[in-house]
Amino acid sequence: MLHTCLNEYVALRKATGFCFRVPEGLLRNFVAFASARGDRRIRGATAVRWAAQTRKQAQRRKRLLEVVRFAEYLHVEDPRHEVPPRDAFPGAYQRPTPRVLTEDEIVRIVKGAADHGRPGSLVGPTYSTLYGLLASTGLRLSEATGIRFADVADDGLVIRETKFRKTRLVPLHPTTLAALTSYLAKRRKLASDSDYVFISERRVRLSRWVVLDTFKTVAQRAGVARSPSGGLPRVHDLRHSFAVHALERCPFGRDRVERHMVALTTYLGHARIESTYWYLEATPRLLKDIAAACEAVVAGDGS
C-alpha cells in the first residue's frame, strides 16, 4: 500500500516541476524500511527510527522532514497515516558559507587538472576543460556533465531540462568557447558510443563522485589552501565563485541592479530570484556595497 501511495506522490511532485530525484530515493528507502516492519501506513515511530539511522543530526532532520511532507499529503485523504513530529531532531539547517575562489586559485586548479591522468590521454584535457567551464559559466556539475555534442551551439550551450525541468541557453565568452572548441577537436577523435562531451577513460559519462574526488585531489596538488573550517575546496565552489564575482561587477543604480539580478538568476538557472540574493551575503565586499547603498537611500541620495 505504501509503495502505491509513494508512486502517486512522486508522480505528482514531478508533474509540478520538481526533479525530486534525491527525495524520491530517500522515500523509497523509507517505504522499504516501513514495509519490512509490517507497516501498511506511515507511523511516526517508524519514521523517527528510520531517520535516526544516519550519524549526523542535520541528515536525520532532512530525512525525517521528507517523510513529514509525504505523511501530510497522505493524511489529508487518510487520517490513519501519522504525521511524524517535526522536532524529533531539532536544529535548523545551516546553509554552508560559500568558498569564493580567487582568480589565481581557479587558474591553478584548471592548469593543474590538465596534468591529471596518464600523459597523452584525454583525462587531463577533460577535467581541465570541465573545471574551466564551470568556473566561467556557473553551471551546476550535473548540467556540465550532461552536455552532449548537439548541445554545443555557435551562440552558447543548450542546457536541457535541468534541476527545475527548464531548458535554457547559456552564452559563452569567446575565450571559453575557444577552449571548449579546442577540447572538442580532441574529444571527437576518441571513438565512443557516447555522445556526451565529457567522458571517462571507460568512455561513458563522467561520474559525479569521481569528478568531486578528482577536484579535491587537483586543488590540493595546485596548492589551493583549505577553508578556515579545514575543508578542501569543492566543485560547487566554482559556481559560488562565479555568482559572487558576477554580483561584485553589478552596475550601480536600482534599475540596472534589478536587470542584472534577473539576468544572473536566469543565467544560473535559478527558479526564484531569492536563490540569487543569497549570494549577496557571501563576501565582505558585497556586504559593504549593500550597506553603502542602504545609507544612500536613507540619506535620500539613492535612486
Residue type, 217: T
Query: Residue 205: beta bridge partners?
Result: 199
List the strands of the sheet with 156-159, edge to edge.
Answer: 152-153, 156-159, 168-170
Distances (CA, A) of 108 to 104, 220, 223: 6, 10, 8
Residues in the chain: 303
Closest CA to 235 of 217, 211, 253: 211
* Grid coordinates of 181: 572548441
> How many angstroms separate the CA atoms of 84 and 47, rounded?
7
Q: What angle do CA 147, 137, 170 make, to 5 degrees?
A: 60
φ, ψ dihedrals at 220, nearest 5°: -65, -45
Burial 16-31 (b: 16+ CB within 10 A, else e): eebebeebbebbeebb
Residue type, 213: D
Residues annotated as catalytic (active site), given as ranges: 140, 163, 236, 239, 270, 279
Contact criterion met (CB below 8 Å) for 97 and 241: no
